[in-house]
Amino acid sequence: MSQIPKTAFVIAHFHENGRVALNTHSLVEEMTKSSHMIVFVSTNLNQDEADRLKKYAVVIQRENTGYDFWSYKLGIDQLGDLSQFDRIVICNTSFISLDPSFLVQSFTGSVDQIGLRGLTRCGEMGDHIQSYWLSFEGNRLLMSPEFATWWDTMLPLNDRNENINNYEVGISGYFARHGYPIRTLFQGTANQLLIMLSRAISRGSVFFNLKNKLQVVPLDLKYALDLNPTIFGWDFIMDQIKIVKIEQLKFNYGHQYLDEKLRNLSVLEKNYLNDALI
């Protein structure tokens, strides 16, 4: 009988009023069913929320510096001896999981391939797994010098763009260069990529410089791979992996038509969304 992989979760949290959304509580509770350790790192957390979470996780409260990646680093440091784990999942609270059981079960089964695995990937500023949910798969990766070097040399960068370039985008490139493949749960079909590209063109996010009206531009779906799928493919992601980014609901980047899709959600799913927007 194969041994159940030992999974640890590190959650980076921030809320301007220190609250934890209903969806995040549900996700943490689901994690406890199949994980060996959970570390919850927050830069602004009410004491009542902290006391509630301590039943499920190690709770760390810290100064608001270094963005999510500094929380990830402190959380991984808290895990101690990494040889006891087969997988470490880092995630933040910038998204809503409409089906926490599906999400957790998708990342607590057997380790099929050593490497990095996430929910979505984006080609903006370089091909990378979007770091709101990122899993380091395999004990050999966790115990590698590359893994140790990445986290040991990290600095608490406070410039947002610098943080994105070095860590959000940089982490995928770093491990890929060292021979660790990157892959994601969401895989857009050709039709979905075409729709995403059409949406971006219609909103002016992608454009072509045409010398005259008769000029034909070959439509290459590779352009769609550079788009942020949580914006231009938000509904496909909601259908396939049951998540939606909070910022997409608040600000509707790309001016997508949200209403019809959201009306068809279940009562629980609507509760998750409404609560997360408070």
Q: What is the pLDDT of residue 132?
A: 98
Question: Residue 9 above 90 pLDDT?
Answer: yes
Given a contact cutoff of 8 angstroms between Cβ atoms, the answer to whether 98 and 30 are in contact is no
Average pLDDT (255-267) is: 92
pLDDT mean over 117-141? 96
pLDDT of residue 215: 52
Last residue of a domain, one of 184, 218, 234: 184
Q: Quick one: average pLDDT of 122-149?
A: 96
Tokens of 167: 């860590």
* 29 shares its domain with 97: yes
Q: Are residues 170 and 48 in the same domain?
A: yes
Neighbours of 211 (CB within 10 A): 6
Residues 93 and 165 in one domain: yes
Residue 63: half-sphere exposure toward Cβ, Cα within 13 Å: 4
Most confident of the following: 7-21, 207-221, 247-261: 7-21
Whether 94 has a pLDDT exceeding 80, the answer reads yes
Is the pLDDT confidence value at 218 over 90? Answer: no
pLDDT tops 60 at residue 26: yes
Distance of CA 121 to the CA centre of its chain: 9
Of 131, 151, 184, which one is at a domain's C-terminal end? 184
pLDDT tens-digit profile of 29-62?
Answer: 999 999 999 999 999 999 999 999 999 999 999 9
The whole-number pLDDT of residue 124 equals 87
Residue 218: domain span? 190-276
- Beta strands at 37-42 and 7-13: parallel, antiparallel or unpaired: parallel
253 and 206 housed in the same domain: yes
CATH code for position 58: 3.90.550.10
Would you say 211 and 238 are in contact if contact means Cβ atoms under 8 Å apart?
Answer: no
Q: Is residue 1 part of a domain?
A: no
pLDDT given at position 1: 40
Q: For residue 180, give Cα distances in angstroms to 113, 136, 141, 176.
A: 9, 10, 8, 5
> Residue ranges of the alpha helices (H) in the chain?
22-31, 47-53, 67-78, 100-105, 139-142, 145-152, 160-163, 170-177, 190-202, 222-225, 229-232, 234-241, 246-251, 259-263, 267-276
Please write the tens of the pLDDT for every residue from 96-116: 999 999 999 999 999 999 999
Q: In the beta sheet, which residues pair with residue 200?
A: none
146 and 228 both lie in a single domain: no
| Average pLDDT score over the chain | 93
Mean pLDDT on 202-224: 64
Q: Are residues 37 and 102 in the same domain?
A: yes
Q: State yes or no: pLDDT of 160 exceeds 60.
A: yes
